[in-house]
Structure 1
């Protein structure tokens, strides 16, 4: 898969099962300026608080999803094998807290303290 944003968005629409986390990160790194930013995922007692500079892959994906108005399924596809192989294959697991919390909520419950991504 190319690192172009257009190619990535096309794949997320038509072939989300082939989207790889590494390809998403490469496209973001190539086309956006990233600023480590504190963000929260979830609500109430079911929330993950991510300080700036932590869980940067999740930060980039959630910021990208918001910029491009991705739906929840497309957003989860951006996590690639972490979502498909680690989370879906082990539904009772406690790893990948951001993915698991996101699955119980949605992109509307992801909030940033600043602007994590800016298009170049």
Structure 2
């Protein structure tokens, strides 16, 4: 199993990253991730959208962080993973694209 850092490395090998604001969650209190914060989650969610991954495939990209959430369901850490587990893709909203394919 790849680690989260390996996933990010693989994404960064293929894509140029630009910080982007995104919301995670439905309802009146989504998690607001301002550009430059939670950049790992920003990369993973953007990548997963670009390559049309489903929720489970996307969660697998969070590697050990996803496993930690599964092992500690009552915890409060990794809020983007926890919220995505609840609301899935309907809860993710980006305001600009964070990834561009690297020129060859």
Name the TM-score class by shorter chain: over 0.9
In structure 2, the residue matched to 1:102 is: 84
C-alpha RMSD of the superposition? 1.0
C-alpha displacement of 1:19: 3.2
In structure 2, the residue matched to 1:67 is: 50
Residues 4-58 of structure 1: CA deviation (Å, up to 9, x unaligned): xxxxxxxxxxxxxx23211110011111010000000111135110000000000
- 4+ residue runs over 4 A deviation: none
Structure-2-length-normalised TM-score: 0.93
In structure 1, the residue matched to 2:5 is: 22
Aligned length: 102
Asked whether 1:81 is paired with 2:64, we answer yes
C-alpha displacement of 1:105: 0.7
Structure-1-length-normalised TM-score: 0.81
- Return 5+ residue gaps in structure 1 as ranges: 1-17
- Return 5+ residue gaps in structure 2 as ranges: none
